[in-house]
């Protein structure tokens, strides 16, 4: 239609001249805009179709979901929450683009965190962990089962807190207590997966174990509860701000493990891994150790001190 009127305006402008050429210019620019808009819509539709085909192929290849994960995801029944084949393919595709789970990107359970149902934000549960993206956040949060198993889950201020991270769930319309129930079930599943992995590694005779006495001479072990400011700065991921936080916290209570240290400083999982073998948590002279937590837990699902407040989900 715009093309027809653009042609008519060209004929009129050529015949009458003058200001009629301005009318032709307006119609011509409008016609170009409509063509570009139609092109973008076709490209977007092609992209969605491609993602839908990819998602269907992945689902066919990984249809054998763990029974325990299916049970955990079935703990929530709410509008805006989808499990398995009930996830609309367009929602699944958008979620895979905006907040894919770690590892295998296929999504088994999905909380649509948008008001209009686009699933550009929300919570996704996959084979290797979970991911979410809240309103106003540029980057998604990805969390493996091992990482989730070592964190505490609690409801505080209408938000579900996982360690020092938090999921708001605004836009989904799902009651925060129901979201907490879902996270609690996923937390229990993560602990079972983590414990199973630990048990298998302990019985795997082909993998040599690193002796705790053998350390890299170029990277001396740092006593977290007694080290000086400059010594703390030598650790990976520890800057001036983190070192000050450590000094302030240990004046009240000593640290007992890398997990507790990473929770307190909100360190990324790969940074916490780098700290292994570089830290020591022996108590400093006169230090006060937490009464409810052992010096260092060797069991993946051992209860830990809840520093977040609210209800703790073990």
Span 182-199, pLDDT tens digits: 999 999 999 998 887 655
CA atoms within 13 A on the CB side of 190: 26
Can you tell me the distance from the alpha carbon of 259 to that of 262, in angstroms, rounded to the nearest whole number? Answer: 5
Above 90 in pLDDT, residue 121?
yes
Residue 39 parent element (H or E):
helix 20-61
| pLDDT the model gives residue 47 | 66
Provide the strand spans (E) within 107-213: 107-112, 122-126, 129-133, 141-144, 153-156, 159-162, 165-167
Mean pLDDT of 233-253: 87
Please report where in the chains the tokens 């994960």 appear, as a residue: 69
Q: Are 75 and 60 in contact (CB under 8 A)?
A: no
Kindly state the percentage of the chain with pLDDT values over 90.
Answer: 27
Going by C-alpha positions, the residue among 253, 292, 301, 258 that lies closest to residue 276 is 258
30-44, 46-60, 64-78, 88-102: range with lowest mean pLDDT: 46-60
Can you tell me the distance from the alpha carbon of 176 to that of 168, in angstroms, rounded to the nearest whole number? Answer: 8
Can you tell me the distance from the alpha carbon of 9 to that of 23, in angstroms, rounded to the nearest whole number? Answer: 7
Decide: helix, strand or coil at residue 61: helix
Question: Is the dihedral angle over the CA atoms 236, 237, 241, 245 positive or is it negative?
Answer: negative
Q: Are 260 and 239 in contact (CB under 8 A)?
A: no
Going by C-alpha positions, the residue among 147, 161, 151 that lies closest to residue 309 is 161
Neighbours of 149 (CB within 10 A): 22
> Which residues, at least 6 apart from 178, have a Cβ–Cβ distance to it below 8 Å?
76, 78
Can you tell me the distance from the alpha carbon of 242 to that of 240, in angstroms, rounded to the nearest whole number? Answer: 6
Mean pLDDT of 143-151: 92
| pLDDT the model gives residue 66 | 87
> Which residues, at least 6 apart from 151, have a Cβ–Cβ distance to it below 8 Å?
162, 163, 165, 187, 263
Beta bridge partners of 279: 222
Can you tell me the distance from the alpha carbon of 228 to that of 284, in angstroms, rounded to the nearest whole number? Answer: 12
pLDDT band at 49 (very low <50, low <70, confident <90, very high): low
Mean pLDDT of 43-65: 59
Can you tell me the distance from the alpha carbon of 255 to that of 224, in angstroms, rounded to the nearest whole number? Answer: 7
| pLDDT the model gives residue 59 | 46
| pLDDT the model gives residue 27 | 76
pLDDT in tens, 204-222: 444 444 444 344 445 678 8
**Domains and their CATH numbers in the chain:** 2-61 (no CATH), 67-202 (no CATH), 213-309 (1.10.150.320)
């Amino acid at each position: 239609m715009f093309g027809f009127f653009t042609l008519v305006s060209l004929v009129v402008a050529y015949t009458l001249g003058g200001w009629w050429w301005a009318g032709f210019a307006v119609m011509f620019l409008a016609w170009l805009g409509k063509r570009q808009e139609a092109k973008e819509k076709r490209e977007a539709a092609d992209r969605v179709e491609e993602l839908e085909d990819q998602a269907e192929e992945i689902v066919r290849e990984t249809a054998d979901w763990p029974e325990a994960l299916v049970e955990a995801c079935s703990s929530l029944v709410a509008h805006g929450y989808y499990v398995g084949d009930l996830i609309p393919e367009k929602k699944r595709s958008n979620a895979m683009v905006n907040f894919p789970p770690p590892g295998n990107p296929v999504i088994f359970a999905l909380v649509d965190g948008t008001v209009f149902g686009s699933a550009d934000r929300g919570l996704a549960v996959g084979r290797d962990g979970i991911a979410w993206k809240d309103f106003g956040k540029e980057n998604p949060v990805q969390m493996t089962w091992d990482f989730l198993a070592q964190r505490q889950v609690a409801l505080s201020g209408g938000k579900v807190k996982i360690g020092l991270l938090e999921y708001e769930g605004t836009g989904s319309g799902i009651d925060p207590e129901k979201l907490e129930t879902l996270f609690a079930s996923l937390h229990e599943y993560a602990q079972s997966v983590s414990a199973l992995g630990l048990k298998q590694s302990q019985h795997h005779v082909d993998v040599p174990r690193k002796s705790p006495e053998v350390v890299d001479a170029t990277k001396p072990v740092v006593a977290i509860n007694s080290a000086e400011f400059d010594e703390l700065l030598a650790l990976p991921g520890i800057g001036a701000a983190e070192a000050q936080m450590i000094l302030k916290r240990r004046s009240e209570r000593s640290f007992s493990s890398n997990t507790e240290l990473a929770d307190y400083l909100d360190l990324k999982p790969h940074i916490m891994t780098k700290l292994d073998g570089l830290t020591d948590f022996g108590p400093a002279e006169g230090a006060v150790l937490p009464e409810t937590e052992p010096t260092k837990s060797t069991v993946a699902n051992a209860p830990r001190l809840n520093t977040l407040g609210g209800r703790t989900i073990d």
